[in-house]
Amino acid sequence: MSFIEPSLLATLIAGFIVAVAFPLGALIAIYIPYSVSRRALFAAFGAGIFFAAMMLLTQQALILGNVFDLVLGFGLGAATFGLAQNYIRRCKACTEQERKVKREKSEGKLSVVGTILDSVPETLFVGIIAALRQPNLYAAVAVLFLGNIATTLEGARIMRDQGISKREIMRDWLVDFLIVGLAAPLGYFLVGAVSNDILAIVLSFATGTLIVFIAGELIARAYRESRGHNEDLFISAGFLIGVILLFVL
């Protein structure tokens, strides 16, 4: 006889799969060489697949709550990431050239911060749908895994190219792994412990952080680092794959 409920066990496994994308992506970025243009394509693909994740998060937030919950959570999420972004890049007395250098050096760290801010509520969502026994658990896990590993391949590679040590890179992404991995069982136990409005705000928070992270970091970097004309195709492909996984299969 199992001492763990099947849905809780599924939550633990799902949380691990979503979170393991961070150390796995960091290991690949550290030890397998690939070009800046390839890095840009990873960012583009991650942006596309996260757009699809936003669709599901928004849909579920409105099912669980209302428009007010959506607006509140979305605003908090967008503001939180924006404040984190400004804090990391803050350089009051810098020249324009120094600000540019500061921006470039902060990009790897912003990937770490961005993935924590959006992945924690996303992984809470994994626990929520597992507790509610909804059928799209595995599709959500697949989409979040793909988005997280694409983002990590891009962010960890930036850190490597900046000369940050392998140990520090792995440490930062392992912190992501631990925080995000613990979020899934927390989401599982939130169901029944808090109101649907709170759950809706949590999911909307993820959407708010995602939109700022996608637009201000992933897409901006993809086009800035572009060495070809494939970014549009990779954004589109990521979005289409995410939609098919979440809403078709």
- Residue 28 predicted with pLDDT over 60: yes
**115 or 72: whose pLDDT is higher?**
72
Say which range, 73-77, 86-90, 167-171, 181-185, has the weakest mean pLDDT. Answer: 86-90
Say which range, 113-117, 134-138, 174-178, has the weakest mean pLDDT. Answer: 113-117
- Residue 113 predicted with pLDDT over 80: no
CB 154 within 8 A of CB 218: yes
CB 176 within 8 A of CB 114: no
125 CB-near residues (< 8 Å, 6+ apart): 57, 60, 140, 187, 202, 203, 206
**33 or 68: whose pLDDT is higher?**
68
Amino acid (1-letter code) at residue 171 = R
3 phi, psi to nearest 5 deg: -90, -5
Highest mean pLDDT among 54-68, 82-96, 224-238: 54-68
- Residue 209 predicted with pLDDT over 50: yes
**158 or 198: whose pLDDT is higher?**
198
pLDDT in the model for residue 104: 54
How many CA atoms lie less than 13 Å away from 224 in the CB half-sphere? 12
What's the distance, CA 194 to chain centroid?
24
120 CB-near residues (< 8 Å, 6+ apart): 179, 180, 183, 206
pLDDT in the model for residue 2: 46
Cβ neighbourhood burial of 134 (10 Å; 0-12, 13-18, 19+): exposed
Global confidence as pTM: 0.85
191 phi, psi to nearest 5 deg: -65, 125
The beta-carbon contacts of 85-94 under 8 Å, at least 24 apart in sequence, are 85/110, 85/113, 85/212, 85/216, 88/113
Q: Which stretches of 32-165 are DSSP H helices? A: 36-64, 67-89, 96-131, 137-161
pLDDT in the model for residue 160: 87
Mean pLDDT for the stretch of residues 58-74? 94
Instruction: Report the chain's mean pLDDT, rounded to a whole number.
Output: 84
Say which range, 34-38, 61-65, 97-101, 239-243, has the weakest mean pLDDT. Answer: 97-101
- Residue 3 predicted with pLDDT over 90: no
Count of C-beta atoms within a 10 Å radius of residue 170: 17
Residue with tokens 């050096």: 105
CA distance 103 to 97: 10
**22 or 100: whose pLDDT is higher?**
22
pLDDT band at 1 (very low <50, low <70, confident <90, very high): very low
